[in-house]
A and B are shown apart, each in its own frame.
Chain A
Amino acid sequence: MRAALPYPLLSAALALTWLLLNAPPTPGQLVLALLVGLAIPHVMRALRPRSVRLRAPGRLARLGIIVLYDMLRSNIDVARVILGLRRGTRRTGFVAIPLDLREPFGITILAIILTATPGTLWVQYDSDTGRLLMHVLDLTDGDAWVRRVKDRYERPLMEIFA
């Protein structure tokens, strides 16, 4: 089983991508999708990607919903800042966040999440100290941002990739 399917998640994703690109699925396309899903992960072996272990797939779905909501809200917030609709003075600046998350896939997902929410920008991550430097467009309270990243994103990610 391990020899035939070294990366089952990758195989499934590749087969699904093939079917999406070649919809509607015909028997011929199904066979091709199966071949793509079986063959390409063996090429990937040369790159030796680390295998992913998802411990809590249900939490991944919940995190996705939280991120979608935050993405929507921060898009509107940033649009208001740009169009000058935001009242009061706006401070912008850097926030340093001490991360406990060390799993590379978790950190990658966190980088994608912080990029997908427009008000936050991932500047630098130091893998020795685990500290992340982030730029925030509307920085009213630095500690609130640290708590927000840790509670809303980092904790679920640590449960998902343990």
Chain B
Amino acid sequence: MTGADLPLWAAWLVSVLAVTGAAFSLTGAIGLVRLKTFYERVHAPTLGATLGMALILCGSMLLLSMLEGRLVLRDALIGLFLTVTTPVTLLLLARAAAHRDRHEGNPDAPPKP
């Protein structure tokens, strides 16, 4: 099957999944600009790394499965590895910020755990 033979419902579903996922990722990017403090900002990009990523990958898996005429689950690995590795980056960022804020005695520094 080529792209031109894709049934209309599948084309719509893939488009809706991809655009909704992209919209969540964009919202996360807007959050980086709009939110005020560092700790608030770190929440924003996780939108793209969780639901945004999941929706886009579902769209991609559906499209590839339809085109190749069999179940293609390869993209799920992208989701798995993103999910497992994102916390490492966020944890390092949060730890570094907490250390700096405490060291400089900033008023919004996190309390000791």
Contacts and interface: CB of A to CB of B under 8 A. Distances in A.
Contacts of A71: 50-51
B98 interface: yes
A20 B76 CA distance: 9
Interface string A18-42: 0011011000000000000000000
Interface string A39-79: 00000000000000000000000000000000110010011
B74 interface: yes
Given A122-B94, A124-B94, A124-B95, A129 B113 contact: yes
- What size tier do the contact residues of chain A reach? 35 or more
A105 interface: no
Interface residues of B, number: 36
B11 to A, nearest CB: 23
Contacts, number: 106
A75 B43 contact: no
A137 interface: yes
B46 to A, nearest CB: 4
A126 interface: yes
Nearest to B82: A116
A125 interface: yes
A17 B111 CA distance: 42
Given A23-B74, A122-B94, A133 B43 contact: no
Given A94-B111, A126-B113, A135 B39 contact: yes
Contacts of B46: 78, 115-116, 118
A interface: dominant SS = mixed
Interface string A111-122: 110111111111
B27 A83 contact: yes
Nearest to B27: A79
A92 B40 contact: yes
Interface string B36-51: 0101101110110011
B31 A82 contact: yes
Closest 9 CB pairs of A and B: A82-B31, A75-B51, A133-B113, A115-B87, A118-B46, A131-B113, A135-B39, A123-B94, A137-B43
Interface of B: 24, 27-28, 30-31, 34-35, 37, 39-40, 42-44, 46-47, 50-51, 70, 72-74, 76-77, 83-84, 86-87, 90-91, 94-95, 98, 110-113
Given A21-B77, A75-B51, A92-B37, 17 more contacts: A20-B74, A23-B74, A71-B51, A79-B27, A82-B27, A82-B28, A82-B31, A83-B27, A94-B111, A115-B86, A122-B87, A122-B94, A124-B94, A124-B95, A125-B113, A131-B113, A133-B112
